[in-house]
Structure 1
Amino acid sequence: MLISFEGVDGAGKTTQINMLKEIYPNAIITKEPGGTELGAMIRSYLMSNASKISQRAEILLFLADRAEHYEKIIKPNYKNLILSDRSFISGLAYAMANDDNLDIKTLIELNKFALCSDFGDKFIFLKANKELIHQRLFNRDCSDEIESRGIEYLMRVQEFMSIILTDLKFEVLEIDASLAPEIIQDKIRKFI
């Protein structure tokens, strides 16, 4: 079963996945982008050079990462519990936040191609407010070029995540990211 964790940077996805490792020690833990060797190279390049390439090229690089991630990590491990830090939902949301004139249907078709029409089983959406994101990102030691686009940008990405998850009618657990980590974890375990 593939469970994808969605939310903007600082929402607590990694914290929750790390807490789940204790309960599900045999789970496959992965991330997108960067869960494969190719993905790590693409992610590294994009995190420091996103403003140097066109938006369409950025989308296609993320799709290449997504296709490789599916073939090398998701598909061979589907008999196991797979916990993924992000999924194609993030890809769609970030693309739409960069250019809301993009055709969402085309983006979904491209993602269907990259993922062999396999979007996963369940989604956990950690939704944060501006204050929480500011607090968590400000306390980090580093930030990448995408985070440096600002809190308003991240809030726009989050809104697109919410719209996409609702429109595609996936099985989604939406959680207030400002709740205590233990409370969030309890809700996630029940959902799984």
Structure 2
Amino acid sequence: MKNTITCYCGVCALDLVDDKATCHFQCGCNSCRQKIQFGEIKGGRKTKPLPELFLMPSHLRKAKGVEHMKAYKLREDAASTQVYCTKCWAILGIDQTGYHNKIFLIFPEFCETEADLSLPLVAYIWMEDYNDSIGPAPTEDVPLFESMRYEQEYKRAFSIPEIGDTFAEPDAPITGFTFRSVVEALAEPTILGVQEQDNIFKIYS
């Protein structure tokens, strides 16, 4: 259904106020793969090596099936919290401390949505974790960032309008019902205790 993000089985749904994505990445980081792999281990869809990420405006009209949602963090000090449906293990969304309650992240290959994801790929990010043993080489002619470790990389990335605008701090605190409101309504996130270089399949399979 338009303007919604749902799990595979339909028991959980997020009704978006604005369903137009503001940024579109493919990410090579281990952490994104581990989030998806955990869902796969629990019975969700098979992981893709270079998943697509879309950033969505965080305001919601309502959330359905909150009693079937569960929050997880990969490790105690992780900046991000992912929310799964515990019936089918779709990933409904991810919040991160740096999102300022303004945006949240979705993996459209690991949920169901008819939101407006027409925005072309903006960049490949965090590719320092990616190699030929994980998957094929990236093919799109867009900027590629190994990391944001160096100031030059950071400045180049944030000079891209879609990135700079999406991640800019809001002029005033975001109020109203948002994806972060959903996360805060859930029980404290379960800590998986997975480090960045760990093989999550060996830990949880």
TM over 0.5: no
Structure with a larger share of its residues in strand: 2
Structure with a larger share of its residues in helix: 1
Bin for the TM-score computed over the shorter chain: under 0.3
State the TM-score, normalized to the length of structure 1. 0.26
